């Protein structure tokens, strides 16, 4: 099969333009977000997911006769939301300088534990979502553990944010 020269030239032009767009054009470096802003944002994400987990827990607690399909759908929803919440610890670590990491060491360790818990709970939620015999009791256990882990992360990130805020400049008389 022969190719048309026009098609070949068009493809070459498209590839050239695409490569140029991905090239190393001189760009202004992106401003690095402050550690307290990243900690606050991650804490907000944890709080939002914690509210969802609490809602799932409350619903699972009131309707113990819910179907396996409902448990699977809720677990799939939680897995997707957990996946989007993961990575907060890395963002926090990258935003902090050495002094901030030293000042918030115990909170940073708690945030690492939250990230590890999210990874494990994501695996559990994915497994539960794929299990046709999933039960509402398993969903209840998952959402309860998720809410507890997120509470730890939310509180730790808020406390760390307050410790890394830049000190106000002294007032000049």
Q: What is the pLDDT of residues 31-41, one digit of tens each?
A: 778 999 999 99
Please give the biggest Cα pair distance in the chain: 83
State the pLDDT at residue 163: 93
Helix axes 88-95, 136-164, angle to 10 degrees: 10
State the pLDDT at residue 27: 56
Full-model pTM? 0.76
State the pLDDT at residue 165: 83
What is the band of 29 on the pLDDT scale with cuts at 50, 70, 90?
low
Domains and CATH numbers, the chain: 35-164 (1.20.120)
State the pLDDT at residue 143: 96
Q: What would the pLDDT profile of 109-159 be if each residue is shown by its tens digit?
A: 999 999 999 999 999 999 999 999 999 999 999 999 999 999 999 999 999
């Amino acid at each position: 099969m022969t190719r048309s020269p026009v098609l070949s030239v068009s493809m070459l032009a498209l590839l050239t333009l695409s490569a140029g767009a991905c090239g190393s054009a001189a760009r202004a470096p992106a401003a690095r977000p402050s550690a307290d802003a990243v900690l606050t944002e991650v804490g907000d994400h944890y709080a939002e997911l914690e509210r969802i987990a609490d809602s799932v827990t409350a619903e699972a607690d009131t309707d113990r006769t819910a179907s396996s399909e409902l448990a699977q759908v809720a677990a799939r929803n939680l897995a997707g939301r957990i996946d989007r919440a993961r990575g907060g610890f890395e963002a926090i670590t990258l935003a902090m300088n050495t002094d901030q990491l030293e000042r918030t060491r115990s909170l940073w360790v708690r945030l690492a534990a939250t990230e590890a818990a999210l990874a494990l709970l994501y695996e559990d939620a994915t497994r539960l979502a794929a299990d046709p015999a999933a039960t509402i009791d398993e969903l209840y256990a998952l959402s309860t553990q998720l809410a507890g882990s997120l509470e730890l992360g939310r509180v730790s990130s808020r406390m760390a944010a307050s410790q890394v805020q830049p000190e106000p400049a002294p007032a000049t008389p």
